[in-house]
Amino acid sequence: MMLKIIPILTDNYVWILYDKKNFCIIIDPGLSKPILKEIKKHKWFPVAILLTHNHIDHTGGVKNIIKHYPNITVFGPFETRDSNVNKIVNDGDKLFILNKEFFVFFTPGHTLGHVTYYSKPYLFCGDTVFSGGCGRVYNKKYLDMYNSIQKILSFPNETVLCCSHEYTLSNLDFSMSILPEDKDIKNFYKKTKKIIEIKKTSLPSYILLEKKINLFLRTDEYSLREAMRLDRNCNSLEVFIKLRVKKDYFWS
Ligand SMILES: [Fe+2]
Ligand SMILES: [Fe+2]
């Protein structure tokens, strides 16, 4: 399966997987117009929509897309049931779409019922992990979000991380305010700036890369506790909460 990224709205991404026969799967279509345009341009035939969570910037295009392609199957977690979903997915489900396996993982924290889809090597993690950061934690479910991030961290290093927003530079700005001397983050910031100028996107990312540059995936490091003036013996969850709350009030 080949992967295509489509920017929509201010900073959202819709991902499309397509095969050699031009059948395609759309992930989190927050809008319909740019997606329908792209489908027509490439002569794709959509067979499924996968939704990660119930936010309008991820679900807003479903209704109009299925008007054009009424045979599409729309998969989504229970919280998306009112977005024209006809197959509710649950943690541990295995879906077969276009002869490929898609594994469903419950990754709550950003929303109460957020899910992530894995079809080797691609991981569609919605608003759970971004390059250099993570999603906002609504409803104060920090433990849920922490556990979801650990789950994402456990995927193979070469996993292609398909996040739903272009927040990379602002995430790295925040990270550099915490760890100003971190060479990996500093270098990646410079590299990303150039890449965005050329390619207009910093995504997709990779698990291996995120392990190096994403502070939310590095909450077990002592350097982070020291930099944040936290007790050396506090646990990773406490570091995660402090970091997430700090980020909520950070403007670069
Ligand atoms: Fe969201
Ligand atoms: Fe979003």
Q: What is the per-residue pLDDT across 105-162, written as a single tens digit (0 to 9) for each?
A: 999 999 999 999 999 999 999 999 999 999 999 999 999 999 999 999 999 999 999 9
Largest CA distance in the chain: 57
Give the pLDDT score at 251: 75
Query: Does position 12 have pLDDT exceeding 90, yes or no?
Result: yes
Q: 166-196, pLDDT tens digit by residue?
A: 999 999 999 999 999 999 999 999 999 999 9
For residue 37, give its domain range: 2-248
Total domain count for the chain? Answer: 1
Closest C-alpha to 210, from 163, 249, 148 = 163
Crossing angle of the two packed helices 142-153 and 236-248, in degrees rounded to 10: 110
> How many angstroms does the Cα of residue 230 sit away from the middle of ligand 2?
31
CB 39 within 8 A of CB 54: no
Q: How far apart are CA 142 and CA 70, in angstroms?
A: 38
| Distance in Å, CA 12 to ligand 2 centroid | 7
% the chain with pLDDT above 90: 98
Q: According to the model, what pLDDT value does residue 31 have?
A: 98
The whole-chain average pLDDT of the chain stands at 97
Ligand 1 centroid distance, CA of 86 (Å):
21
| pLDDT recorded at residue 81 | 98
Q: Which residues are annotated as a binding site?
A: 53, 55, 57-58, 110, 127, 165
Binding residue numbers for Zn(2+): 53, 55, 57-58, 110, 127, 165
CATH number of the domain where residue 35 is located = 3.60.15.10
